[in-house]
Structure 1
Amino acid sequence: MNTTDKQLMRSLKSRHIQMIAIGGAIGTGLFLGSGSAIKISGPSIILSYLIVGIFCFFMMRSIGELLLSDASKHSFLDFVKDYLGDKFEFATGWMYWFCWISLAMADLTATGIYMKFWFNDLPQWIPPLTILVALYITNKLKVRIFGELESWFSIIKIAAILILVVVGITLAIFGFKANGQIASFNNLVAHGGFFATGGYGFLMSFQMVVFAFVGIEMVGLTAGETEQPEMNLPKAINSLPIRIGLFYIGSMIAIMSVCPWDKIDTSTSPFVQVFSSIGIPGAAGILNFVVLTAAFSATNSCLFSTSRTLYALGSGNNAPKSFSKLDKNGVPNISLNFSTLFLMIIVILNFVMPANIFDLISGVSTINFIIVWLVLIYCHVCYRRAQPSGVKAFKMPGYPTTDWLSLFFFASILIFLFINTSTRISMIISGSVFILLLGIYQLYQKIRLLNN
């Protein structure tokens, strides 16, 4: 059999899909980025997580209904082609590739920051290089290896958050002292009120809060490699509200009850700070290992998602045909090689400008994902117009109101990020890339017509 004739293997089991969905929703944005978001918005970040979580759930339900409407399709990019045309499939596919590349750049940068906990003089570019090479090797193996690795990464992250929530809330209930401060739920309103930094600070938090959620849609790329997608995908998507409540809102309440929001240090993870303040020997080091694992997980997910995105683009003639070739393990090897080589850029950037790279890259990544989410939600609107009955077993709740509200919400965030001077550069970069991709498609089509 020729490598171009092979199909992606349906090797991912239910537990893999559950863990990949959870892993996509818990990453550097929560473990590291939440420190900056807390500093900007104060306790009102709890409300930010709730609002963004609701709209992310609607977005996931719209993707889920799309995927289940035709199980023969391998990813949501196939539906973009069907309902929005070749141009948007090309632009969205490459934009989604850029989403994960920029996210992995942020996560790889975070690994260099985390390692300074143990090795203060370690150059920031060494951990990203080491981790990238190690994960590249594991992604060259069968997809089930990726599923197993991601499952274990997710288990570690879940355990850490559960421990943090239980410990933090217990300290607050009994009023224990932590680092000279009395842990109490009163800390959520005692330092300037719930909206301590005002409405502007509350709105500013949305960029980092959305960054904490980016990647949850990755389950939509696993459809072509999932056993019984009609059963396993809904299960993974429907568990989102529980994860939002427990992992995000619960952890924010626990953190700010133990460490008042205005005492949070943005140079390290607030999770590490909480366990350091408790005084348990070695606890901070263990938590730092956990947040390092979260960065591993996000980078691992990036190599998986970017290689499968390039595979889909190659299969749809929107990228070199070689990207659609699979090796003997069913892995799109050339696509994986291309993404890994591109990620080497972040190793160079961490060598040249280690101090400023995380904020810039995380901003670009957030905006990239929002643009893709907008396309996918609108794609669902087009699908339901064409198929009003939808998928009976997994209909989008509240359609069409929920779709239009979600489009308005995410578009409003983009407008605010453009108006705000601190995020305008990231917005211009991401918006320009998407417009450029639409232009490149037109040029690409003209070249194909000339060659034919």
Structure 2
Amino acid sequence: MNHEPPPSGQDQHGHDGLQRSLTHRHIQLIAIGGAIGTGLFMGSGKTISLAGPSIVFVYAIIGTMLFFVMRAMGELLLSNLRYKSFIDFASDLLGPWAGFFTGWTYWFCWIVTGIADVIAISSYAQFWLPGLPQWAPALMCVGLLLGLNLLTVKLFGEIEFWFAMIKIVAIVALVGTGLAMVAGGFVSPAGRAASLANLWNDGGMFPHGAMGFFAGFQIAVFAFVGIELVGTTAAEAEDPERTLPRAINSIPVRIIVFYVCALIAIMAVTPWRDVVPGKSPFVELFVLAGLPAAAGVVNFVVLTSAASSANGGVFSTSRMLYGLALKGDAPRAFHRLSRAGVPARGLLFSCSCLLAGAFLMWVVPDLVQAFTLVTTVSAILFMFVWSLILLSYIAYRRRRPGLHVASRYRMPGGVAMCWACLAFFAAILVLLCLESDTRQALAVTPLWFVLLGLAYRAMLRRQGGAAGTVPAQT
């Protein structure tokens, strides 16, 4: 019998030690915050210029597809409460290789996204402190997030709660302001009247045709990265059987309010042809409304949005490293928990990697170019993770039909909807080939999977060809 004491953070029964401290309030706001990414605030100007009013349909279609991905994830996580995140069910249902590739790719997804976020934070900080070196805000942000996440998981929940609340208030205020301007017959200094007719009276809903419509998908996908973040909180939710379904089921409402209504409000007040690609249309709408501090207020909102995304990335990457270490797919050092029940070593390692953002800003001083490169790579990697969630669900339906029948939270559309979502992601990859900047990112991304394949082979040789899985629930 093995008498070795459980790793730090485990109790005498050998439980994983992660504290179930995230309440329903935390889970709901984490889910909302994950659905409102930096891409909405920063990328909506460019997507509107590319697709015109049809961008409303682009965000609605992407959101619908990702809702089904989240429903598949929800059914899988609740089918076996020993699953701590999607790397566990990927490993169990598809094989150890899937858990290894999912976990490390998701970790890398958030490292890349976090780098994009610290680049964005540095850009926003220039608004108030133009003389500050670009790398300084990045260092301060990473240091602050590390310090806060090292304390307790409940503090992470509180930080995300308030970050998400700021984003919600800003978007609701934008939608309300836009409706008031339309109802009041607002006329801009250029003589443009605020009206819902602005969505279709200048070339129709598809002014750039099918190619313009498809071009919008390339950037819009990044706005949704992090929507699956609620799945990494499963092991630390107080009542996952209640909180996870509620958080996932509210995704369609969030997409309608935070994406569709916000974009309609923007284009009703500012005709799509007047939207400047390089500026945030959120700022422009408030400026038109006559809010004197509009630029400063919205700059604060988008800065907190980027900080929220980076905070979620710091949280999720540390939990991924912890889960990988439990299975032997990462160094055992990441398996140890602090006295507060948080994976401190994983946090330190992930935050160290985020500092690569400061290095990238030194190598590529053009912040917009650096941001575009890393966000495209991030979107491609996230689609890989979402695809493995769908493939895990297909395997689950084939191998565990009894669990599906007994489930109280079944995915609508089942296996057929999974294949439809996979076909959609494949189509997005084809669209990424159309533009030179996204094509470059698509070309370099396979290098990550080559490195992972080599690492997995080396790990199998070291472990004698075996890798751990999470036992199935019978």
Which TM-score applies when normalising by structure 1?
0.96
Identify the residue that residue 72 of structure 1 maps to in structure 2: 82
Q: Any stretches of 5+ residues in structure 1 without a counterpart?
A: none
CA–CA separation in structure 2 for the residues paired with 1:172 and 1:15: 34
Work out whether residues 178 and 278 of structure 1, in 8 Å CA contact, stay in contact via their aligned partners in 2. Answer: no
| Residue 227 of structure 1 pairs with residue 219 of structure 2 | no
The one-letter amino acid paired with 1:438 is: G
| Residue 387 of structure 1 pairs with residue 400 of structure 2 | yes
Q: What does residue range 145-184 of structure 1 map to in structure 2 within 5 Å?
A: 145-180=155-190, 181-184=192-195
Q: 2:274 aligns with which of 243, 260, 263?
A: 263
CA–CA separation in structure 1 for the residues paired with 2:448 and 2:42: 26
The one-letter amino acid paired with 2:334 is: F
Which TM-score applies when normalising by structure 2?
0.92
Superposition deviation, residue 416 in structure 1:
2.2
Identify the residue that residue 128 of structure 1 maps to in structure 2: 138
CA–CA separation in structure 2 for the residues paired with 1:347 and 1:183: 42
The one-letter amino acid paired with 2:452 is: L
1:56-87 Cα shifts (integer Å, max 9, x gaps): 10000000000000012211110011011111
Identify the residue that residue 403 of structure 1 maps to in structure 2: 418
Identify the residue that residue 192 of structure 1 maps to in structure 2: 203
Work out whether residues 7 and 335 of structure 2, in 8 Å CA contact, stay in contact via their aligned partners in 1. Answer: no
Superposition deviation, residue 192 in structure 1:
2.8
The one-letter amino acid paired with 1:376 is: I
Q: 1:421 aligns with which of 411, 436, 439?
A: 436
CA–CA separation in structure 2 for the residues paired with 1:4 and 1:14: 24
Work out whether residues 9 and 338 of structure 2, in 8 Å CA contact, stay in contact via their aligned partners in 1. Answer: no
- CA change 1:177–1:123 in 2 (3 A) is farther
Q: Any stretches of 5+ residues in structure 2 without a counterpart?
A: 1-5, 11-15, 467-474
| Residue 113 of structure 1 pairs with residue 118 of structure 2 | no
- Percent identity of paired positions between Structure 1 and Structure 2: 46
Q: Which segment is superposed worse, 140-149 or 105-114?
A: 105-114
| Residue 212 of structure 1 pairs with residue 223 of structure 2 | yes
Superposition deviation, residue 351 in structure 1:
2.6
| Residue 370 of structure 1 pairs with residue 383 of structure 2 | yes
Q: 1:13 aligns with which of 1, 17, 23?
A: 23
Superposition deviation, residue 419 in structure 1:
4.9
The one-letter amino acid paired with 1:228 is: D
Identify the residue that residue 440 of structure 1 maps to in structure 2: 455
- CA change 1:262–1:305 in 2 (3 A) is same
CA–CA separation in structure 1 for the residues paired with 2:280 and 2:440: 25
Work out whether residues 9 and 18 of structure 2, in 8 Å CA contact, stay in contact via their aligned partners in 1. Answer: no
Identify the residue that residue 98 of structure 1 maps to in structure 2: 108
Superposition deviation, residue 415 in structure 1:
2.4
Q: Which segment is superposed worse, 396-405 or 230-239?
A: 396-405
| Residue 336 of structure 1 pairs with residue 347 of structure 2 | yes
Identify the residue that residue 26 of structure 1 maps to in structure 2: 36
SS of match in other structure, 1:265: coil
The one-letter amino acid paired with 2:380 is: I
Superposition deviation, residue 420 in structure 1:
4.0
1:142-181 Cα shifts (integer Å, max 9, x gaps): 0000000100111111011001011112212332023433
CA–CA separation in structure 1 for the residues paired with 2:189 and 2:24: 43
| Residue 277 of structure 1 pairs with residue 288 of structure 2 | yes
Q: Which segment is superposed worse, 23-32 or 34-43?
A: 34-43
Superposition deviation, residue 2 in structure 1:
4.1
Work out whether residues 9 and 339 of structure 2, in 8 Å CA contact, stay in contact via their aligned partners in 1. Answer: no
1:360-401 Cα shifts (integer Å, max 9, x gaps): 011011111001101111111100111224153100101122
Work out whether residues 61 and 237 of structure 1, in 8 Å CA contact, stay in contact via their aligned partners in 2. Answer: yes
Work out whether residues 178 and 279 of structure 1, in 8 Å CA contact, stay in contact via their aligned partners in 2. Answer: no
SS of match in other structure, 2:445: helix
Superposition deviation, residue 197 in structure 1:
2.0
Identify the residue that residue 370 of structure 2 maps to in structure 1: 357
CA–CA separation in structure 1 for the residues paired with 2:349 and 2:296: 35
SS of match in other structure, 1:141: coil
Work out whether residues 374 and 411 of structure 1, in 8 Å CA contact, stay in contact via their aligned partners in 2. Answer: no
Identify the residue that residue 471 of structure 2 maps to in structure 1: none
CA–CA separation in structure 1 for the residues paired with 2:142 and 2:278: 23
Superposition deviation, residue 93 in structure 1:
0.7
Identify the residue that residue 43 of structure 1 maps to in structure 2: 53
CA–CA separation in structure 2 for the residues paired with 1:73 and 1:58: 19
Work out whether residues 418 and 428 of structure 1, in 8 Å CA contact, stay in contact via their aligned partners in 2. Answer: no
Superposition deviation, residue 276 in structure 1:
1.4
Q: Which segment is superposed worse, 72-81 or 117-126?
A: 117-126
The one-letter amino acid paired with 1:38 is: I
Work out whether residues 18 and 341 of structure 2, in 8 Å CA contact, stay in contact via their aligned partners in 1. Answer: yes
The one-letter amino acid paired with 1:362 is: T
CA–CA separation in structure 2 for the residues paired with 1:237 and 1:450: 37
Work out whether residues 173 and 185 of structure 1, in 8 Å CA contact, stay in contact via their aligned partners in 2. Answer: no
CA–CA separation in structure 2 for the residues paired with 1:450 and 1:382: 23
Q: 1:289 aligns with which of 300, 309, 334?
A: 300
Work out whether residues 75 and 407 of structure 2, in 8 Å CA contact, stay in contact via their aligned partners in 1. Answer: no
The one-letter amino acid paired with 2:417 is: T
Identify the residue that residue 3 of structure 2 maps to in structure 1: none
SS of match in other structure, 2:374: helix
Work out whether residues 79 and 407 of structure 2, in 8 Å CA contact, stay in contact via their aligned partners in 1. Answer: no
Work out whether residues 177 and 289 of structure 2, in 8 Å CA contact, stay in contact via their aligned partners in 1. Answer: no
The one-letter amino acid paired with 2:374 is: I
Work out whether residues 114 and 268 of structure 1, in 8 Å CA contact, stay in contact via their aligned partners in 2. Answer: no
1:403-449 Cα shifts (integer Å, max 9, x gaps): 11111111211122135433111112223312431232012212333
The root-mean-square deviation of aligned C-alpha atoms, in Å, is 1.7
Q: 2:253 aligns with which of 234, 237, 242?
A: 242
Superposition deviation, residue 277 in structure 1:
2.0
CA–CA separation in structure 1 for the residues paired with 2:233 and 2:393: 18
SS of match in other structure, 2:262: helix
Superposition deviation, residue 287 in structure 1:
1.5
- CA change 1:4–1:322 in 2 (3 A) is farther
CA–CA separation in structure 2 for the residues paired with 1:158 and 1:408: 32
CA–CA separation in structure 2 for the residues paired with 1:2 and 1:98: 25
| Residue 253 of structure 1 pairs with residue 279 of structure 2 | no
The one-letter amino acid paired with 2:185 is: G
**Structure 1 runs, 4 residues or longer, greater than 4 Å off:** none
